[in-house]
């Protein structure tokens, strides 16, 4: 059994919003605004009690969008995500158990990496699209450049502290398949229910990725 190809699943979705839901209704509104702006994939972080329910609702109601979940820390979370039909799962790091379970459960999985050893462990388990986290604090641009040689088969999804201005630099790297960012769903826009702003930020991100 081999790992599900997360890179193929997310092909073309170069900017992926990373969003933490306050309610299922908010998640619906956010996902609709992002989709209206041209975004086709979203990572819903499992950091609030409503997050798993929000993922389930979006999977049911938005079949044309790749609905994934982040901050996956336990194998049981992977199992629940598989059961509700999530398209992919993302972790801030990885464990041998999570790497193996993703293959066993046949769910696309982006394990988090910040060192060469972690990249090697993920590759050995069959995963090729890896989340680099936390991108900005660890100066991931230089890491990604350095990894191009020894890890030519790997592709990366840097996440963590990236804004629209920095996104352009990451997307220019040939081994960056996509990136994650919370700047598309700013806290004040969510608080005010300003879905037009979220849609506008989505349109700007899509245009940035097309450069």
Q: Which residues are tagged catalytic?
A: 43, 131
As a whole number of angstroms, the distance between CA 121 and CA 187 comes to: 35
Asked whether the beta carbons of 208 and 16 are under 8 A apart, the reply is: no
DSSP structural state of residue 181? E
End-to-end CA distance of the chain, in Å? 37
Q: Which are the contacts of 122, defined by CB distance < 8 A and separation ≥ 6?
A: 94, 99, 111, 113, 130, 154
HEC string for 73-140: CCHHHHHHHHHHCCCEEECCCCCHHHHHHHHHHCCEEECEECCHHHHHHHHHCCCCEEEECCCCCCCH
């Amino acid at each position: 059994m081999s790992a599900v190809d997360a890179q193929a699943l997310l092909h073309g979705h170069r900017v992926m919003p990373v969003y933490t839901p306050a309610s299922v209704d908010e998640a619906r509104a956010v996902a609709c605004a992002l989709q209206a702006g041209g975004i086709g994939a979203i990572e819903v972080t499992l950091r609030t009690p409503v997050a798993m329910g929000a993922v389930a609702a979006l999977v049911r109601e938005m079949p044309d969008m790749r609905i994934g979940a982040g901050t996956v820390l336990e194998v049981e979370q992977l199992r629940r995500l598989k059961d509700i039909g999530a398209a992919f799962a993302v972790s801030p790091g990885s464990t041998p158990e999570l790497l193996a379970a993703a293959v066993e459960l046949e769910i696309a999985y982006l394990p988090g990496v910040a060192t060469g050893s972690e990249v090697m462990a993920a590759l050995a388990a069959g995963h090729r699209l890896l989340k680099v986290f936390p991108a900005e604090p660890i100066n991931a641009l230089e890491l990604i450049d350095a990894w191009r040689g020894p890890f030519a088969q790997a592709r990366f999804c840097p996440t963590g502290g990236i804004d629209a201005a920095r996104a352009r630099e990451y997307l220019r790297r040939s081994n960056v398949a996509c990136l994650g960012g919370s700047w598309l769903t700013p806290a004040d826009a969510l608080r005010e229910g300003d879905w037009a702003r979220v849609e506008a930020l989505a349109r700007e991100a899509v245009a940035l990725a097309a450069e």
